[in-house]
Structure 1
Amino acid sequence: MSEAKRLHPVSILFDLIFSVRQFILPIIIGFFSFRNDSLVYYLLALAGLLLLYFVIAIIVWYRFTYRVVDDELRIEHGVFVRKKRHISKNRIQSIDLTSGIIHRIFHLTKVEIETAGTGMEAEASLSAVKRAEGEALRRELKSGDTGAAVNDELDNETSEQPERPHSAISPKRLFIAATTSGSVGVIIVFALTGFSQFEQFIPEETFKSTFNWAIGLGLVIIITLAVLFLLLLWLLGIAGTIIKYGKFTITRNEQELFITRGLLEKKQITIPLRRIQAIGIQETIIRQPLGYVTVFAEIAGGSMDRGEDFSSILFPIMKEEEVNDFLAVFLPEYAGVDYDLRPLPKRARKFYMLRASWPFLLLIAAVGWLFLKFIWIPVVLLVIGGIGLGWLRHRDGGFKVTGKRVTIRYRGLLSRNTVLMYHKRIQAYEKKQHKLQKWQNLATANFSIIGTMGAGTHFTVKDLAVSDTHVLSDWYSRQRTRTDN
C-alpha cells in the first residue's frame, strides 16, 4: 500500500455535518430571532456559509492522503500549511473500525489508530474508507498479528484461523441490561440542560400562561403527566442501550481482546492485553438485587472518544456467579474473584453517614428557611438518601490481598464496584489521614494506576483501620522490592 490514497468522497459529507453540528445551537436561535423579511436574508446568509463550508471540505478532502511505507503509516494533510505525520507500526497499540449508518450504506468504515501517547483524540483517524480497504490497512499495520483474521470471522468472512474463545450477549440479557441500565437519569440531565438553554428564548407571557395552565390541571393530573414523562424517558433509555450494545460480541486472541457492538453504529474495538491495568465488576443499585453485574476494564492510554465512559465494557451484563467463568476464558489471570473481603471497622460508619448526609442537611436548612411546611420532604430524603446511602457505602467497603493481587470494593453514588489490580500495574499507593480519622484510628487508602490519556486513575477506600492500611503498605512495599530484585 505504498501508493498515496485519498479518503472516500463521502468524507466530505462528514466534514460538512461536523461543521454544521458545531453551530447548530446558534442556527436554531437564528430561526427564532429573525422574523419576516429579515428571515429571508438570514436563510440566504446561512446558505452562503454552507456553500463555503462545502467548498472548504472538498479542498480538505483533496489535500488529505495516506499510505503505508517502510513499516509506518504516513499521512499528509493541510490546505495552506502542509503537515506530515509518520506513525510507526511499533507504536500502534490498537486499530478500531467504526461503521455508522452512512458508512454502512456505502460499505465504508472509519479507521481509528491509537498509540501509547494518544491524548484527547485518536492518534490518526481516517473518517471514511472502503470496508475492504480498512481491513487491508489494519492487516498491513498489524502484520504478523492474527487480530484482523479474528475480526474477519466476526464479519462472517472466510478465514482459516481456528475458532477462538468468544461470547455474545443474548436478546434476553440485552433487554435486561436495557431495562436496568439507569440511563434515564442521564437523559433527564440532558433534557434539563437543553431546557435551560432555550428557556431564555421563550416569551415571558407564554411561560407564565403555560405555568398557570399546568397549575390549573390539578395535582393528580400533574403527577400522571410526570409519570408518563418519566416512562417516556425510560423507554428512550432502553432503546439507547439496545442500539449501543446490540450484537455485542467479545473474542480473545493470543494478545488482544476484540469487541464488536452496535446496531446503528457498528464498532470494533481492539484491547491489547498488556494495556489492561485493572478489572472491575460493577453492580448498580437496580441490578444488585437481581444478581446482575457489568464487567469492565481500565485501559492504559487510549483516547476519550472510545465512547466507554473512560473504561472499556468487557461485557454489559451477566450473573455474578458467571464472572469467574468469563474471566477464566478471556482473562485467566484475573479469575478466582473472592467477594469475601475484610470489612471496614464499625466505628467508620458514622463518617460514611455524615458524608452522605451533609447535602441533605443543607437542603433542610434552605427549605426550613423558605418553605417550612414542606420541610418533611428533605427530612425523608435525609433518612433514605443520606443515612441509608452512608450505611450501604460502609457495609460494602473492604479489601483483600491475595498474593500479588489486591481486591478492593467501594460504593459510588449508586453502584458498588469491585476492582482487581495486580501489584505490577499499581503506580502508587498512598495512605491519608485527617484529624478526625486520627482520633478514631482510621485512615484512607488510595491506589493509582495509569488510565485514559496516560493520566492517573485512582481507587479509594475510605476509613480503613490504620492496621489495615499498614497491611496494604507492607504488601505494596514488599512486592515492589521483589520486583526490583
Structure 2
Amino acid sequence: MIKLKRYHPLLMLFDLSKLVKSSIFFAVFLFVIKAGYKSNFITYGRIIFIFAVGITLISIILKWFTHKYELDDQSFHLYKGIFRKSERTIPFSKIQNVKRHASLFHRIFNVTSISFETGMTGEVATVKFEVISLIEADRMEAHSTSAVRDELATIPTNPKPNRTIHFKPTRKEILEASFTSLSFLFLIPLIGSFYFKMNEIFHVEEEAEGILSKLLSSWWMVTILIIVVVFTSAMFGIARTFFKYGKYEISSDQDRIYITKGVIEETAFSISKEKVQAIEIKQSIMKRLLGLAEVKLTSAGSLSSGEELLEINSLYPFLPIKRAYGIISEILPAYEVTEKMNRLPRTSLWVRMFKPSWLGLVVSGVLFYFKPTVLSVEQAWWILSVGLFIIIYVLRLLDFLNTLYILNENFIQIKKGSWTTSLFISKRDKVIEVKVSRNIFQKLLGLATIGTINRAKPIQHAGVDDVPLVLADSFYKWYMGRRNEIEIEIDTKL
C-alpha cells in the first residue's frame, strides 16, 4: 500500500513552465512590441495580464499543498481542496491502459508522467500524474496491475518484465517512413507560418520583395533555390521521423503489450491483452503500393487528444503487411487474420451505382445556378459537375472492389474502403451489439446491411452494406453463439 502523500515538488516547476509557455506571446506583445504605447487598451491589458499570472502562481503553490493521493489494495484515492475537500476513488479493476510520457523537462530532471486510463467517462476517466519519480511510477504501475496485491513488497523497485521484442525499425525503414508519411511537406507550412508572424511584427514583406525579385530573375539562382528547398525539406522530414520513431519498440509479455517511442520526448504505452476489443489494419493508397500497413488496437480507453490520439494505440504506422500479420499472431495468438475472404455479389454494385449522390446533386445545382467561369472557360460549370460525378462513382466502384468479409467460428473480419482501406478484426465475445437492417432496394434484391459495435472511446462501429440475405441470417446466428463464450460469475455467498 502507498500511503497518503503529496505530489512531486517538481510539479510546481512543471506548471510554471507551462504558464511561461502559454503567456510568453502576450508578455512579448504587451511589454516589448507595445512598450511605448500608452493607450488604455494596452494599459488595462498589462494589468489584467499581471493579475492573471499572479493568481495562477498562487494556485500552483496551493495546488501542491492541497492535492494528495494514496493507493490501497483496490483503488486510487485522490484528494484536493482548501475550504471544500473532495475525494475521487478509481478502482484498479477499471484500468484499461497505462501510458508514460517523458518530455524534455522530465528527462532533464529524471522524472516522468504516468496516466491510468479507465473505461469510465467524465472526471474519473483518467488518473494522471504529470510529474512523478521513476521509482514511484514503477511502484504505482506494479501496484495497480499486480494480480496479488499482498505481494507488492516483493516486487523490485524498477521491475523489468520478461518481455519479447517483436519489432524495432531499421534505418532503412525509418527512411521509408519519412517519405511515406510525407513528413518533408511539414517544412513548407512551418516556414510560411514563421514568415507571416515575422511580417506582422517587423514588416519584412517590403524588404523581402526586392530580394525575391532579384532571385527570380536568374535561372541558376532559381535552380539553386529549388535544390536547397528540396534538400532541406527531405532532411527535415527524415529528422522529424527519426525523432518520432527512432527508438520505436513493440514488445509484450504474458499479459500486456508495450509500445515505446521517441528520441527527445519518450512515450511508453501498455495495454492488457484481455482489454483489446478489436484490431484494425489500415492502408492508404501509397502504403498499398509500398506493401505497408498500420495496425491499431481498439481498447475501451483512450489516453490523449489530437494527433497523439490517432497514434497511441498504433503498433507502428509503417509495418510491412506480411510482418503486420505475423506480429498480430505473435502478440495476440487468440486473434486470427484470414487473407482469403468473400466478395460482395454483383447486385451489390448496382445498388451502389444507382444510389443517388446528394453531394453531387447539390453541388451540380449550385454550379448550374451560378455558372461560374474558370480559367476563361465559360462552360466550366458542367465540366466540374461531370468530373465530380466521375470521382464519386469511381470511389464507389473502388469501395465495392475492396469490400471483403468473412465469419469464422469465433471471429468476424471486414475489409472496406476506396483510396484508404481498413481491415477490421474482432472476436465474437468482444462484440457487444449487432444490427441487421434492410432498405427498400435491398429487400427487392435480397440484400441487407450488417453492423457490429465494440466497446471503445468513442464506441466503435463496423459493418458491411449490401451483403447477401443468407449471410445476414448467418451473422445473427453467429452472434447468438457468443452465449457459450461468456463467463458468468456467481456469488457463492448468496
- Cα separation, 2, equivalents of 1:262 and 1:405: 34
Matched with 2:392 is 386
Matched with 1:283 is 283
Q: After the TM superposition, which residues 106-145 of structure 1 pair with which residues of structure 2 at under 5 Å, given as runs?
A: 106-119=109-122, 122-144=125-147
CA contact (8 A) 2:70 2:76 kept: yes
CA contact (8 A) 1:92 1:114 kept: yes
Matched with 2:331 is 330
Deviations 1:90-146 (A, max 9, x none): 443333221111001100101212233254785211110112221122223333479
The residue identity in structure 2 corresponding to 1:420 is I
Give the superposition deviation at 1:441: 4.2
- Cα separation, 2, equivalents of 1:352 and 1:66: 58
Question: Is the alpha carbon distance of 1:398 and 1:186 closer, same or farther for their aligned partners in structure 2, counting shifts above 3 Å?
Answer: farther
Q: Are 1:418 and 2:423 counterparts?
A: yes
The residue identity in structure 1 corresponding to 2:331 is F
Unaligned runs of 5+ in 2: 488-494
Give the superposition deviation at 1:3: 4.1
Matched with 1:58 is 61
Q: Are 1:397 and 2:399 counterparts?
A: no
Question: Is the alpha carbon distance of 1:363 and 1:109 closer, same or farther for their aligned partners in structure 2, counting shifts above 3 Å?
Answer: farther
Residue 314 of structure 1 aligns to a residue whose secondary structure is coil
Residue 301 of structure 1 aligns to a residue whose secondary structure is coil
- Cα separation, 2, equivalents of 1:229 and 1:359: 41
CA contact (8 A) 2:97 2:301 kept: no
Deviations 1:291-325 (A, max 9, x none): 11111111123445493328710232222222332
Q: With structure 1 as the length reference, what TM-score do the two structures score? A: 0.78
Matched with 1:408 is 414
Residue 308 of structure 1 aligns to a residue whose secondary structure is helix
Give the superposition deviation at 1:382: 2.4
Give the superposition deviation at 1:10: 2.7
- Cα separation, 1, equivalents of 2:227 and 2:467: 42
Residue 426 of structure 2 aligns to a residue whose secondary structure is strand
Q: Which has the higher contact order (CA 8 A, sep 6+)?
A: 1
- Cα separation, 1, equivalents of 2:392 and 2:363: 7
Unaligned runs of 5+ in 1: none
Question: Is the alpha carbon distance of 1:473 and 1:30 closer, same or farther for their aligned partners in structure 2, counting shifts above 3 Å?
Answer: farther
Question: Is the alpha carbon distance of 1:47 and 1:96 closer, same or farther for their aligned partners in structure 2, counting shifts above 3 Å?
Answer: same
Deviates most, 395-404 or 430-439:
430-439
Residue 329 of structure 1 aligns to a residue whose secondary structure is helix
Choose the corresponding residue for 1:471, options 466, 471, 474.
474
CA contact (8 A) 1:353 1:391 kept: no
- Cα separation, 1, equivalents of 2:238 and 2:122: 32
RMSD of aligned Cα (Å): 4.7
Q: After the TM superposition, which residues 449-464 of structure 1 pair with which residues of structure 2 at under 5 Å, given as runs?
A: 449-452=454-457, 455-464=458-467
Question: Is the alpha carbon distance of 1:143 and 1:451 closer, same or farther for their aligned partners in structure 2, counting shifts above 3 Å?
Answer: closer
- Cα separation, 1, equivalents of 2:108 and 2:328: 37
CA contact (8 A) 2:342 2:406 kept: yes
Q: Are 1:314 and 2:315 counterparts?
A: yes
The residue identity in structure 1 corresponding to 2:105 is I
Matched with 1:247 is 247
Question: Is the alpha carbon distance of 1:31 and 1:287 closer, same or farther for their aligned partners in structure 2, counting shifts above 3 Å?
Answer: farther
The count of aligned residue pairs is 467
The residue identity in structure 1 corresponding to 2:60 is A
Deviations 1:338-361 (A, max 9, x none): 243323533244157947855764
Matched with 2:176 is 176
Q: Are 1:432 and 2:437 counterparts?
A: yes
Residue 314 of structure 2 aligns to a residue whose secondary structure is strand
The residue identity in structure 2 corresponding to 1:328 is S
Choose the corresponding residue for 1:445, options 416, 439, 450.
450
Question: Is the alpha carbon distance of 1:398 and 1:302 closer, same or farther for their aligned partners in structure 2, counting shifts above 3 Å?
Answer: same
